[in-house]
Chains A and B, each alone.
Chain A
């Protein structure tokens, strides 16, 4: 079973700061997802990637398949970015098509 580790577990920053959240996994994957869970509990998919980099607005996600590592970056952070960010991976074959999740990074952006 894949082990998914996220760091940091908790992060508090000031509005405008550049944010980086890291995710490492132990076994080869077919895809990696970054999810955002709002304070109300709803989960939204931010990115799904299997190689390279993706950008959406102020969010950037990168993945290094060889190093089994992904990062989520937030530029010009804003209080509305405060949420739990969860990394999840999908196996590369022979197992569940569901996701294995990291424990999440609790991000607070202070005005």
Chain B
């Protein structure tokens, strides 16, 4: 299995531009998580899905952030418009069925907003 796949690995954009981050979870995993890591705040949960349905988006910082999971093998995290304070590493993780299972992390997308 290839593991969790994220793209792009690096993204540099200018303030005000739309940014789309992509994630392919491990096949058969029912849970998908989006996390953000910054020096100041460490790792934070943004949103998670169960069977393609968003369950908790309370970690999404503001309306500029949105996430979708149109099918079991693909999810996107979109920032529109982007701001310099959005610069961070964004991780996607997936996990099989039920509570208490290990999460498998993707390599992350390093986003820089100028």
Contacts and interface: CB of A to CB of B under 8 A. Distances in A.
* A and B interact: yes
A50 B45 CA distance: 20
Given A86-B43, A96-B45, A33 B102 contact: yes
Interface of B is mostly: strand
Interface string B29-40: 001010100000
A96 B33 CA distance: 10
Contact of A96 (B43, B48, B105): B48
A98 B35 CA distance: 9
Interface in B55-114: 55-56, 58-59, 89, 91, 99-105, 107-108, 110
Interface residues of B, number: 25
Contacts of A99: 33, 35, 43, 45, 103
A57 B50 CA distance: 33
B105 A45 contact: yes
B105 A43 contact: yes
A90 B100 contact: yes
Interface in A87-111: 88, 90, 95-104
A44 B108 CA distance: 12
Interface residues of A, number: 24
Given A30-B99, A103-B42, 16 more contacts: A30-B100, A31-B100, A41-B89, A42-B105, A43-B108, A48-B100, A48-B102, A88-B43, A90-B99, A96-B59, A97-B31, A97-B99, A99-B33, A99-B35, A99-B45, A104-B42
**Those 7 A-B pairs whose CB atoms lie nearest each other, nearest first:** A98-B45, A43-B105, A101-B43, A96-B56, A103-B42, A98-B48, A45-B102
